[in-house]
Amino acid sequence: MTRKFLKYFVSISLALVLAITGAVALMQRNSVASAETAAPVTLVESSTVVASPFTEAVKKVHGSVVGVNNYANYSSYNNYYSNPFYGFGGFGGFDFGFGDGFGNGFGNDPYAIRPDEDNSRQVLQGSGSGVVVAKGFVLTNYHVVEDASTLEVTAGEATYPATLVGHDESRDIAVLKVENLPLEPVVLGDSDALNVGDWAICIGNPLSFTGTTTVGVISALNREVESSGTDPYGRKTNDVNLMIQTDAAINSGNSGGGMFNVAGELVGIPSMKYTGSYYSSATIEGIGMAIPINVAKPLLREVIEKENANPSTSAPQSESATEGGLAPSVKPRMGVKVTTINASNSSWVANGALPTGAYLSEIEASSPAEKAGLLPGDIVVEVDGTIITTSTEVVNMLQDKQAGDTVVIKYFRLSGDPASYTSYDDVDGDYAEVTVELAILDTAAP
């Protein structure tokens, strides 16, 4: 009995010892866990700055990319006729749809602007982008400024009136002059030095998100892109341009902005984006086109040199300059009677069948113009290399000339019988040049 009790007592004692030991161990573990939980947490922060290869380039040129707003005169009359051939005719007698051939009537031309219209107003018809390429000069796409009655450039919250001083519609480029624009010009790169795989940084104002930067690579060079446009005188043409293809995002409003390399040099002008195929319902992403900057350089040099040499962009108005003729003068003349032909007074010009210029409605017998071979119906588009858009410009170009001086006249002449034309596409003709020696004539005309 005593031995059994002793055994029992020892068993109870061992069980108690084990229980106490386990409890102590558990308490110790909880204590350690509590201590670890209460310890402060230290965050390890990196001091390494991962630099983008584009940051410096974007910083250098970002402020030189501007917005371009295109305002046009809107008239309810111009939307009254839905048929562009309403009142078709006027070609007989070389009227071209703008009245009696002397600018004194409007016939039934739906594109004519009636002198008694007073319901026109300016509306914003489009916005795009541009890049400051010289002090006070902005490069953009022609389609951004096309048909504008007023242009303005925006930089941040500021707006500046702009003037179109040069363009080449066939290449879709235009140059604006902006007085007091306080932005530095970018550096022009060499688009001929580009390689497929080079970085492409595009900056513009898509959907009015000012200064948006997108990045991609040059996907291809010398992509042939066909488009319809007009020549420098406003006549319709079909053009094929060699473009830079990129996968950098280009969206509506990017047009006219800048494509830059990683050195911050302007190498292209974003112009268009492919979104789908005419032959397929497939959606296309990552195919944008830009005009190589080397294509724009000749126009830039020509315009900037001309503007710097002659800051005034408006020709002085002579007291003798009038539509349809001149007041008496002893100045030497060509011996022609001219009137302006443009999209405002002729649907044939508005539809690209004829160029804008000075229409020769009469030519005096034995005059310098007749001797040079000019004919009634010719449309003068250049005088001494300067593009002509109004008859007044022709008059002003001759104001400082002396008898015996010569002028080079570039003109457009129709082919075939104009009375046989039944549509704008039927119109055929070509440009030619003649040299006219001015002389003193008895009557007054240019």
pLDDT in tens, 315-330: 333 223 333 332 333 5
Higher-pLDDT residue of 43 and 336 is 336
Give the pLDDT confidence score for residue 370 in this predicted structure. 92
Q: What is the mean pLDDT of the chain?
A: 76
95-104 pLDDT tens trace: 333 322 222 2
422-446: per-residue pLDDT in tens?
A: 888 888 889 999 999 988 876 555 6
> Are 363 and 375 in contact, with CB atoms under 8 Å apart?
yes
Residue 101: predicted pLDDT: 29
Q: Determine the Cα–Cα distance for residues 265 and 434; give it in Å rounded to an integer.
A: 43
Q: Please say whether the beta carbons of 372 and 436 come within 8 A.
A: yes
Higher pLDDT, 314 or 396: 396
- Which band of pLDDT confidence, cut at 50, 70 and 90, is reported for residue 116? very low
Q: Rounded distance, CA 378 to CA 132, Å?
A: 39
Beta strands at 265-273 and 187-188: parallel, antiparallel or unpaired? parallel
- What pLDDT is attached to residue 16? 61
Query: pLDDT value at position 7?
Result: 59
Highest mean pLDDT out of 103-107, 143-147, 404-408, 422-426: 404-408
Q: What percent of the chain has pLDDT over 90?
A: 31
Residues forming CATH 2.30.42.10 domain(s) in the chain: 321-437
Task: Point out the least confidently predicted range of 137-146, 268-277, 318-327, 355-364.
Answer: 318-327
Side chain identity at residue 216, one-letter code: G
- Read off φ and ψ for residue 347, nearest 5 degrees: -70, -25
d(CA 388, CA 393): 6
CATH 2.30.42.10 fits 321-437, yes or no: yes
Higher confidence at residue 138 or residue 208?
138
Contact in structure between 138 and 68 (CB atoms under 8 Å)? yes
Higher pLDDT, 418 or 246: 246
In this prediction, residue 22 carries a pLDDT of 60
pLDDT in tens, 265-303: 999 999 887 665 544 455 667 788 999 999 999 999 988
Query: Above 60 in pLDDT, residue 240?
Result: yes
**CA nearest to 144, candidates 206, 95, 237:** 206
From the list 139, 159, 161, 137, the residue with the least C-alpha distance to 151 is 161
CA dist., res. 113 & res. 109, Å (int):
9
Give the pLDDT band of residue 105 (cuts 50, 70, 90): very low
φ, ψ at 272 (rounded to 5°): -155, 165
Report the pLDDT averaged over residues 369-386. Answer: 92
CB atoms within 10 A of CB 412: 22
pLDDT confidence of residue 418: 74
Q: Looking at residue 31, what is its pLDDT?
A: 57
pLDDT at residue 209 in the model? 82
At residue 96, the pLDDT reads 34
Greatest alpha-carbon span in the chain: 162
Question: Residues with catalytic annotation?
Answer: 143, 172, 255
> In terms of residues, how long is the chain?
446
Give residue 145's identity as a one-letter amino acid code. V
The answer to whether the CB of 341 falls within 8 A of the CB of 98 is yes
pLDDT tens for each residue of 191-221 = 999 999 999 999 998 877 888 899 999 999 9
The larger pLDDT score, comparing residue 318 to residue 168, is at 168
Could you write out the three-class secondary structure of the chain? CHHHHHHHHHHHHHHHHHHHHHHHHHHHHHHHHHHHHHCCCCCCCCCCCCCCCCHHHHHHHHHHEEEEEEEEEECHHHHCCCCCCCCCCCCCCCCCCCCCCCCCCCCCCCCCCCCCCCCCEEEEEEEEEEEEEECCEEEECHHHHCCCCEEEEEECCEEEEEEEEEEEHHHCEEEEEECCCCCCCCEECCHHHCCCCCEEEEEECHHHCCCEEEEEEEEEEEEEEEEEEECCCCCEEEEEEEEEEECCCCCCCCCCCEEECCCCEEEEEEEEECCEECCEEEECCCCEEEEEHHHHHHHHHHHHHHHHHCCCCCCCCCCCEECCEECCCCCCECCEEEEEECCCCCHHHHCCCCCCEEEEEEECCCCHHHHHCCCCCCEEEEECCEECCCHHHHHHHHCCCCCCCEEEEEEEEECCCHHHCCCHHHCCEEEEEEEEECECCCCCCC
Q: Say what the pLDDT of residue 284 is.
A: 67
**Per mean pLDDT, which of 17-26, 114-123, 344-353 is the most reliable?**
344-353
Residue 297, pLDDT score: 92
- What mean pLDDT is predicted for residues 126-137? 91
Please give the pLDDT value at position 436: 93
Q: Which candidate, 267, 306, 271, places its Cα nearest to that of 288? A: 271
pLDDT of residue 27: 62
| CA–CA dist 258, 272 (Å, integer) | 13
In terms of Cβ atoms closer than 10 Å to its own Cβ (0-12, 13-18, 19+), residue 192 is exposed
Nearest Cα to Cα of residue 63 among 198, 191, 158, 167: 158
For 32, residues 6+ apart whose C-beta sits below 8 A from its C-beta are none
Q: Is the pLDDT of residue 249 over 50?
A: yes
**Confidence label for 133 from pLDDT (cuts 50, 70 and 90):** very high
Note the pLDDT of residue 8: 59
Cα torsion at 338, 437, 384, 398 (round to 10°)? -50
At residue 72, the pLDDT reads 83
pLDDT digits (tens, 9 = 90+) for 31-51: 555 555 556 778 877 777 677
Instruction: Give the domain 187-293 fold.
Output: Thrombin, subunit H (2.40.10)
Q: Is the pLDDT of residue 238 over 60?
A: yes
From 136-140, 158-162, 199-203, 437-441, the region with the lowest mean pLDDT: 437-441
CATH architecture of the domain 61-178 equals Beta Barrel (2.40)
The pair of structure tokens assigned to 109 is 């031309």
Which part of the chain has CATH 2.40.10.10? 61-178, 187-293
> What is the spatial distance between Cα 323 and Cα 342, in angstroms, rounded to a whole number?
14
Q: Tell me: pLDDT of 335 over 80.
A: yes
Q: In the numeric block, which tokens belong to residue 132? A: 């400051």
| Predicted local confidence at residue 349, as pLDDT | 86
107 against 32, higher pLDDT: 32
